[in-house]
Every structure is written in C-alpha cells, then in structure tokens.
Amino acid sequence: MVAVTHNDAELRRRAWDAAAGVVDPEIPVLTIADLGVLRDVAVSGGQVEVAITPTYSGCPAMNMIALEIELALERAGIGRPKIRTVLSPAWTTDWMSQDGRRKLREYGIAPPQASRSRRALFGEQRVACPQCGSGDTEVLSEFGSTSCKALWRCRSCREPFDYFKCH
C-alpha cells in the first residue's frame, strides 16, 4: 500500500473540485458529479488520474467531457492529467445525486425513477410532469432529444417533456 502524503491529499481534493464542476454538454444544468459520471480522482507521485464512466456505451458526450476535465484541471494549476474511462461497473441512474435530480426537474426534464421500483420489472412507469407535477402522463417516443432521454407528454397540462431514461 502506498502512503498518501498531505500534498497528495490536497492535490486530490483540488483535482476533484475542479473536475466535479465540469458540466454535461448535453444537459448543461448538471455537472458530471451530479450525474455520477465522475467516479474517482487518484494521485500518485504528483500525477492526477480522473476516472469517468459514460452514462451508456458510445455516449458522444464523453470525449467532450474528458477534454473539459483536462481544461478544468489545467485552469486549477494541475498539469498533464490522465483521464481514464471506466466501463465496469456500468453507470446507473441510481448514481445521480438528489441535487442533480432536482436540477433536472427545475430545468423541465423529468428525472429518472429508482431502478429498484417494481414498476420497472413490468415495464410500467409513472413519470411526473416536471411542469405541473401531474402523474397523468404518457410516453410519445422512447427516442428524445438525446439518446439518454425519451419524449413524454402530460395529459393534464398537455405539455411535452423529456424524461431522463433509467439505466
């Protein structure tokens, strides 16, 4: 086991804070920490390595997220960081923070439901409308504005909205 020095611990904290502030390019109200995409920041011999997990394999935003992390770390005075993509365990919407779910709702996107729900087992979903809060909603298309969202409509207020799909 490698001993962690005070300097490494401080560098890790600075690196985490810088990386955690990077926003998702597809949903700019969420940071990668809100999403649970930021998995770990490690420091070894002054070298910073950031581990990220895509929301789904082939997510086109991951290259931009990696670049934005590098830039954020450089701006924080942390040079030559390494960004590593971790695929296992696979990302799940359960990793999304409560603050992130709140931000989605306020932005007009229905946040994902807990994947442990019994309704998920039977393909029944009740998604609350982010505009009026009604549970009387319907899916219009499993394909939304991005691959991680589906298009829904509220039967009460008649407004369409995106739903962040469960993974």
* pLDDT tens digits in sequence order for the chain, 167 residues long: 444 456 899 999 999 999 999 999 989 999 999 999 999 999 998 899 999 999 887 888 999 999 999 999 999 999 999 999 999 999 999 999 999 999 999 999 999 976 555 445 455 678 999 999 999 999 999 988 888 889 999 999 999 999 998 76
Is 36 found in the same domain as 69? yes
* Both tokens assigned to 6: 């005070």
* CA–CA distances in Å: residue 80 to residues 12, 47, 72, 87, 127: 14, 8, 11, 23, 43
Overall domain count for the chain: 2
Assess whether 152 and 106 both reside in one domain.
yes
Residue after which a domain boundary falls, among 41, 68, 91: 91
85/13 same-domain check: yes
Q: In terms of domains, do 87 and 115 share one?
A: no
Domain that holds residue 79: 6-91
Among 44, 75, 91, where does a domain finish? 91
**Do 71 and 103 share a domain, yes or no?**
no
